[in-house]
Chains A and B, each alone.
Chain A
Amino acid sequence: MSAYLPVLIFAVLIVAFGVVSLAVARLARPSRPDVVKLANYECGAEPIGPAWVRFPVGFYLVALLFIIFDTLAVFLFPWALVLKPLGLSAFWVMAAFIGIVGLGWIYAYREGVLEWK
């Protein structure tokens, strides 16, 4: 458990930095609000319309490709660690894995998912 003590100390420091600096700023700064100062600042323009804007489904499809290859990446970590002792057999197993999932990438490419319109 003590191995994680530095992490804990670090986490406490991070939180403390935010809290302390905000608290000090609040105590030290002058507070004179008026209408202009309290207006929303959004690159100089008043925000219009609801925040619920429907996104095109293309975003979702790219996220989907991400999840598949993310899972593939996680499989690579243990593989990298045992590649040396297990030798070529582990290499070919992984090559087959990546090859099969890679076919999916070619399919996605051919179906035009990656073309951003």
Chain B
Amino acid sequence: MMARAAFLVIAGIAVAAALALVLRRNTVHGALFLVVNLGCVAALYLMLGAIFLAAAQIIVYAGAIMVLFVFAIMVLIPGKEETGPDPRRTWRLLAAPLGGALLLELILLVVGRTAAPAPTGAAPSDNVAAIGRLLFTDYLLPFELTSVLLLAAMVGVLLLARSREGSAEPQGAGPEASVRGSAKPQGSEPEASLR
């Protein structure tokens, strides 16, 4: 009974935070609400006996991913966004009934299944070790692919997000205008003034 009460409280906070993220205007508040939501999901992982995932959720999602979001917001300052009339308002209003229909369908399908009483999973103490064993035997290939993916992501992000080309070489690259200019000899003037 207490577990059910705890679930309802956590689920309520999770849904409220999710709604706040979607409905509130302020981006920074949105990021904080997302952290709350992710923390609630981590608590639910704990209740499900997935200790390792709960820790990973906190470290990767609530820690690293949200730090990146907040840093991106600080770098961008979207500030007073989403002002003025919405050009696609009517189209967006359709989202509510569509979302409701989707939700109804999902819940009917999920709850309609006569779920057998769930036995508890493996004993929590060997949960992490069991995942580890799987990672280094059957899931060896996805494991190594993940490292390639992380490497590619790192290369790509440095490529896209850096403000100036060639910061490794002190006088390698000039200002932006010369970057454009070397690519297209004519007509670099208006583009240079864009920056």
- Chain A residues near B (Cβ < 8 Å): 1, 4, 52-57, 59-61, 63-68, 70-75, 77-79, 81-82, 85-86, 89-90, 93, 96-98, 100-101, 103-104, 107-108, 110-113, 115
B153 and A68 contacting across the interface, CB-CB below 8 Å = yes
Given the known A-B contacts A63-B67, A79-B136, are A100 and B155 also in contact in the complex, defined by CB atoms under 8 Å?
no
A-B contact count (CB 8 A): 135
Closest to B70 in A: A63
B67 and A67 contacting across the interface, CB-CB below 8 Å = yes
Interface residues of B: mostly helix, strand, loop or mixed?
A: helix
B60 at the binding interface (Cβ < 8 Å) = yes
Stretch at the interface among B96-104, B111-119, B156-164: B156-164
Total contacting residues, chain B, CB less than 8 A: 46
Stretch at the interface among B10-18, B143-151, B185-193: B143-151
CB distance from B10 to the nearest CB of A (A): 12
Across the interface, A97 reaches (CB within 8 A) one of B79, B129, B147, namely B147
Chain B residues near A65 (CB, 8 Å)? 154
Across the interface, A107 reaches (CB within 8 A) one of B76, B131, B158, namely B158
